[in-house]
Structures are given as structure tokens and as C-alpha cells.
Amino acid sequence: MLAILVVGFFPPIIGLSRVILGFDPSPGQNYGSVDFLLGFVYSYIVTASLFFGSAIIIRVLNIKIPWKGNVSRRVLLEVLLVLSYTSLTQTFILWSLEGTAFIHIQGELEFKDYLSNVVFSNTITIIVVALIEGGFFFRNWRESLLTRERLEKEHAQSQLANLRSQLDPHFMFNSLNVLTGLIRQDPKQAESFVEDFARVYRHMLDVNDLIIVPLEDELKFTQQYLRLQSTRFKEGLKVNWNISNRAKEGYLPPLALQEVISNAIKHNAIHAEQVLQINISDNEESLEIRNNLQVRLGKMESTGFGLENIKERYQLLEARAPEFLETNGDFLARLPILQVEE
């Protein structure tokens, strides 16, 4: 409706301007306000007829000959049908109203009058149709773009869920190894370990569907996890914390910090004579986990996941990649701290 109001407004204004400037002297001195208003009525009759008719043609073509796979055929047929309809409709309206108050200002209509009106109407119609189809293409392009982004996001979330599901058995596997050692060494502590393990695993279930978690929550969970490990290793495991309040406002992938610490415990010798020192700090952009390297002699069994899992999750989140490297006899892990846009 807005298009009809806008397009129908200009022809009578253009006609009035031509009369005032002397380009169209045929109305003479009899051209008044009533004629001007009738010109508006006539203009809107023509505009509405052409607009709705062209819209029906486009709607039918969208069903019968959609744009996809039929561009050349669709353009040719749409232009042909729209121009034919516009020409016939404009000619019929002029013929029907000839001699009435609507067009008496033009006197007796000649062929050139019909031709000029048809050409003018066709020009306006082609412009309007181009705008309509342009809007249609823009909406389709935006919808397809949003659909593609949604599908990519869903695919990434699915991959993240798969990666997260790999960590659950990985954590279970490592914890059962710890429990096995405790059962042999201290059955009472093994019972306490099972209770603590239940609390830790409950947290894992709580974050099962999350892509990222607040860093502060991840720190609390990791501290619970380390209490489990301290039950077994006692003085052989030392952990130092130095996390700024600003860093705690960020986010991490669930269990990423715990996985790095689990990796350090799994691959290094830990006992009172060879203390494993783990330092956890931040540089505002990343969480840094550093431990001294004292690789154990016996090769530990591995599920094949761990640090690579963390890398893949950061990649799917389109975040800066984590770093894992050996430096000066230490193993250093840097986990980028994620920020959520509000």
C-alpha cells in the first residue's frame, strides 16, 4: 500500500508542473483545483490497477517458475507479462474514461496520447517491479544467510557436545585409576574419595550442556578436583593460586582447567621426594598453568583425548587457540579467557 501511495502521488504533480511551466498548454485556463484532485484520483486508479495486477503475476510466477534454476526464463517471461498487462490495462482505463471529468483536460485522445501514457506507465511499473523483486532477493539473501549461520552454529554446538562427551569417560577413567591406587594404599581414604568424587561428578553433569562456564565456577570445581588428588598424593602435590578478580569475570570451556591439571598429574612422577608444583595464574588475557616436568618412568594408559580436545573446543568457539609448550624444564599451558558480549 505504501508503494501505491508514493508512486501514485507523482504523476499529477508532474502534470501540474508541466502546466505551470508551459510545457503542456492543452488544459488552457480551465485547469483548476478540481481538475488537480481528479488527476490524483485517476493516478491512484491506474497505480493500484497496475500494482495489484503485477503483484498477482509475480506471485503466480513464483509458484510456477521460481527464480532458482530459471533466471533467464523467469526474467524474460516476467518482463513480457508485466509490460503486456500494463499496456493493456492503461489503454483500457484511458478508453473507459475518455470524455469524462477525469481526463477532459486532455481533450480528444489521439494515438500519441495513448502511447505516451502507456510508455510512462510501463516505465514506472518496471521500476516498481524491480524494487519489489530487489526487496524479495534481499529478504531471501538475508534469510539464507541467517539460516546458514544458524546451521553452522548448530553444527558447532553439536561438535562441542561430542567433544564434551569425550571428557566424561576420560575424567571417569582417571578418577578410577586414582581410586584403584587408594584402595590398595588406604581403604578409608578411598571411601572419602568416593564421596568427594560424587560431588565433583555432579558438577560435571550440571555443566554437561554448557559451551562455556564462568571462570570463577571453573576455579571452584578445579579446587574440589584437586582435593581429590591431594587425598592420594598428600605432600607430593602442591598447588599455588594467583588469579586476579578481573580474570574471574571471564569464561572458559567446561572442565578445560581440570583437564590440563589432570594431564600434569597423569604424566609426571608425584611423591614426597619429587613434589609436583602446579602454579595457576593469569595475565588478564589467558589463564596460565605451569608445572615442573618430572616425567614418570612407566607409561600411563591414555584414552587419546585431553589437550587436543581442548584445542578443538576453542577452535569451534572461534576463539584464540590455547598454547601447550615445554619451557625451562616446565610445562606451560595457556588457556585464553573468553569474554561474552552483552
CA distances from 92 to 35, 96, 117, 120 (A): 21, 6, 11, 15
pLDDT value, residue 280: 96
* Closest residue by Cα to residue 228 from 191, 276, 269: 191
Lowest-confidence segment of 53-62, 63-72, 289-298 by average pLDDT = 63-72
| Mean of pLDDT over the chain | 77
* Beta-bridge mates of residue 74: none
CA distances from 259 to 78, 152, 234 (A): 62, 27, 20
Query: Is residue 160's pLDDT more than 60?
Result: no
**Cell 602435590 appears where?**
237
> If pLDDT is split at 50, 70 and 90, which confidence band does 168 have?
low
pLDDT value, residue 304: 43
Average pLDDT over residues 87-101: 74
Task: Supply 73's cell numbers.
Answer: 526464463
Determine how β-strand 323-327 pairs with β-strand 330-336. Answer: antiparallel
> If pLDDT is split at 50, 70 and 90, which confidence band does 219 have?
very high
pLDDT > 70 fraction of the chain, expressed in percent and rounded: 72
Cβ(250)–Cβ(211) below 8 Å = no
Query: Is residue 57's pLDDT more than 70?
Result: yes
Residue 151: count other Cβ atoms within 10 Å of its Cβ.
10
Query: Is residue 124's pLDDT more than 70?
Result: yes
For the chain, give every residue range classified as CATH 3.30.565.10.
170-336
- The 10s digit of each residue's pLDDT in 107-122 is 566 677 678 778 877 8
Predicted model pTM? 0.52
CATH class of 170-336: alpha beta
Query: Is residue 106's pLDDT more than 90?
Result: no
Q: Which residue has the higher pLDDT, 47 or 328?
A: 328
pLDDT value, residue 276: 95
Q: Which residue has the higher pLDDT, 52 or 18?
A: 52
Query: Is residue 103's pLDDT more than 70?
Result: no
pLDDT value, residue 181: 75
Cβ(275)–Cβ(238) below 8 Å = yes
- The 10s digit of each residue's pLDDT in 259-318 is 899 889 888 998 888 999 999 999 979 999 999 998 877 655 544 457 888 888 888 787
Contacts of 78 by beta carbon, 8 Å cutoff, 6+ apart = 57, 58, 61, 129
pLDDT value, residue 100: 63
